[in-house]
Amino acid sequence: MTNIRRIFVQIPSYRDPQLVPTLIDIAQQARAPRQLRIVICWQHDAEESIDTFTCQGFQFLSSQSNGPYDVHFLEFIGVQIELIDVPFLEAKGAGWARSIAQQRFEGEKYNLQIDAHHRFVSNWDGQMVAMLEDLRSRSAKPLLTGYPPAFSPASYPSGRQEQSAVMLADEFTPMGIVRFKSVMLPGDGRFSAPLRARFMSGGFVFSDGMFVDEVGQDPNHFFFTEEIVMAVRAHSHGYDFFHPHVPLLWHDYESSAPEVWEDLTEDLKVGGSIAKSADDMAHVSVQHARFLLAIDSPNSVTRSPYGLGSRRSLHHYERFAGLSFSHRGVHRDSLLPGEPDEAHVLLGTKDWESGLICRRMLRISVCLTLIDDIEVHEVEIMMQNHSGAESLVRRLTSTDILALVEQRALTFVRNFSTSPDQLPTKLLLNCRTNHAGAERFFSITADEVSS
C-alpha cells in the first residue's frame, strides 16, 4: 500500500554544515510539505547534536533504538524527518550511507535522492511530479537525474546558475571507471521538455518509489564508482533517464564539508580507531565495479541483489550510452551534448569500435646505462599498434639528449586519443650513437597515469 506521504527523500550527510539549511529550504519551497518524509544518514562528530536542529526551529519528537544506530524523529513545518545517528568514524562512503537511508523506505509513491547541500525552486515537489508524469508518454519507467546547476550558500540566490545541464562522459580512469562532466544547456528556451540522458547523478534522482526496492543502492560503492554502477543497473531494470530542461534544484559544488576520504586515514586504521581506511573501501569499490561491468570477466553475469536486471543487457547499455568498458572508450557521437542515438545498438562490432575514442596518458621513461664515453646523437621513441604499424611518439631534442646523458634518465608524458586498434601496444627506441649496437644501453618503460 502506498504511503500517505507521497515523497520519500533520502540524504547522506557527512559532517555537512549545509544539512540544516538544505532541510529548511526543501520544506519551505515545497508545495505540500506534509507529504514529505525525509530520511538522513546523519554521519556527524561530537560537535553536532540534536540542538543543531532544534535551535533552528525543528521540533524533536522522539528517539528509537532498534538497530545498530539510533533514529531521531523530528518535524519541521509538517515535514517528517528521521535522523539515523552514525558517528562519522563509522562511515563507509556514499553508497553505504544511501543504502542505510533506503532501508527506511515505506512504500512512498515517489523517491527523491539528493545530497546535503542543495537549494530548491518554489513548488519543486509539484514541478518534479508533473515533469515525471508527463514523461509517461515517452517511457514506462522514467526518472529525472543529472548534475543540478551550481549555487553558493554565501550569496544565494545571487550568482546561482540559471540553466540546466546534461551529463557527458569525461574520461576513463586507468582502472576502468568512467568519470563525468556537466555541460550547460543554452538559456534561450529552445528546450521545452526533458532530454533523454545516458547517465545518472548520485546527487539528484527523482523517480517512482519502487525504484528504491527494485534497484536500490549498492552499499559496496564508496564514492567514485557509485554513479556509473547505478546507471548500468537502473538501465538493466528498464529505467529511462531524463535530464530536466529547467532548474529544479541547485547544488553546492564547492561544499566546505569535510570529505570522508580525508578523514578515514591509514593512520587511524593502524591506530585501531577504524577497521578500514578510505583507500581500503575505494579499492573494494573498484573491484565490485569491474566485476559488474565485466571488465575482468567478459562473460560474467551479476544477478545478486545489487547486480543487473533482466530487462536490458550490459551490452545494450554500452551501445546506448556510447561507452566501451573493455576498451575504456567513448563513442565520438557521445562526446557532444544531445540525446543518445539508439541506432548504435544495431551497429556491427567493427563499425561500432571504429567510432570509439580511447584516451590514455602514458608516463614514458627512457634510461641509459652508465657509459662514460658514449655520445648520443639521436633518439626516437616509436610506438607499435595492434596491427603492428609503427609511428613516431617523440624525437628527443638536443636538450632532452643532454638531460638523458647527464641524469641517465628522461621521463615525459604523452597523451593518446584514438580508436582502440590504434593504441600503442609496444614502445620501441631507435638511436644513433658512437657505439655500435648502442640500443642495448637503453631501456624504455611506460605506465598509465590519471589526468
Q: For the domain that residue 117 is a member of, what is the CATH number?
A: 3.90.550.10
With residue 132 as reference, give the H or E element that holds it: helix 124-134
| Residue 435: per-residue pLDDT | 80
Question: Within this chain, do residues 375 and 303 fall inside the same structural domain, yes or no?
Answer: no
Question: Within this chain, do residues 219 and 261 fall inside the same structural domain, yes or no?
Answer: yes
When mean pLDDT is compared across 131-145, 160-174, 246-260, 425-439, the lowest value belongs to: 425-439
Question: Within this chain, do residues 176 and 45 fall inside the same structural domain, yes or no?
Answer: yes
Q: What value does the mean pLDDT of the chain take?
A: 94
| Residue 375: per-residue pLDDT | 86
Q: Residue 354: CB partners within 8 Å, gap ≥ 6? A: 419
Tens digit of each residue's pLDDT (9 = 90 or more) over 5-34: 699 999 999 999 999 999 999 999 999 999
**pLDDT value at 305 more than 90:** no
Torsion of CA 261, 267, 270, 276, to 10 degrees: 0
Question: Within this chain, do residues 341 and 439 fall inside the same structural domain, yes or no?
Answer: no
Return d(Cα 254, Cα 103) in angstroms, integer: 29
Question: Within this chain, do residues 184 and 44 fall inside the same structural domain, yes or no?
Answer: yes
Question: Within this chain, do residues 66 and 116 fall inside the same structural domain, yes or no?
Answer: yes
* Partner residues linked to 242 by β-bridges: 144, 196
Q: Which of 354, 381, 406 is the last residue of a domain?
A: 354
User: Cβ(61)–Cβ(74) under 8 Å?
Assistant: yes
Question: Within this chain, do residues 267 and 294 fall inside the same structural domain, yes or no?
Answer: yes
Q: Which of 354, 372, 389 is the last residue of a domain?
A: 354
pTM over 0.85: yes
Question: Within this chain, do residues 347 and 391 fall inside the same structural domain, yes or no?
Answer: no
**Considering its fold, how many domains does the chain have in total?**
2
Question: Within this chain, do residues 173 and 260 fall inside the same structural domain, yes or no?
Answer: yes
Question: Within this chain, do residues 409 and 442 fall inside the same structural domain, yes or no?
Answer: yes
Question: Dihedrals φ, ψ of 426, to 5°?
Answer: -155, 140
Tens digit of each residue's pLDDT (9 = 90 or more) over 363-405: 999 999 866 677 889 999 999 999 899 999 999 999 999 999 8
Question: Within this chain, do residues 412 and 319 fall inside the same structural domain, yes or no?
Answer: no
Return d(Cα 104, Cα 22) in angstroms, integer: 20
Confidence band for 1, pLDDT divided at 50, 70 and 90: very low
Q: Which domain holds residue 371?
A: 360-448
Question: Within this chain, do residues 343 and 441 fall inside the same structural domain, yes or no?
Answer: no
Mean pLDDT over residues 261-275, rounded? 94
Q: Which of 299, 326, 354 is the last residue of a domain?
A: 354
Tens digit of each residue's pLDDT (9 = 90 or more) over 183-210: 999 877 788 999 999 999 999 999 999 9
Q: What is the DSSP letter of 176?
A: S
**pLDDT value at 146 more than 70:** yes
Q: Residue 199: CB partners within 8 Å, gap ≥ 6? A: 145, 167, 168, 169, 180, 227, 228, 231, 241, 321
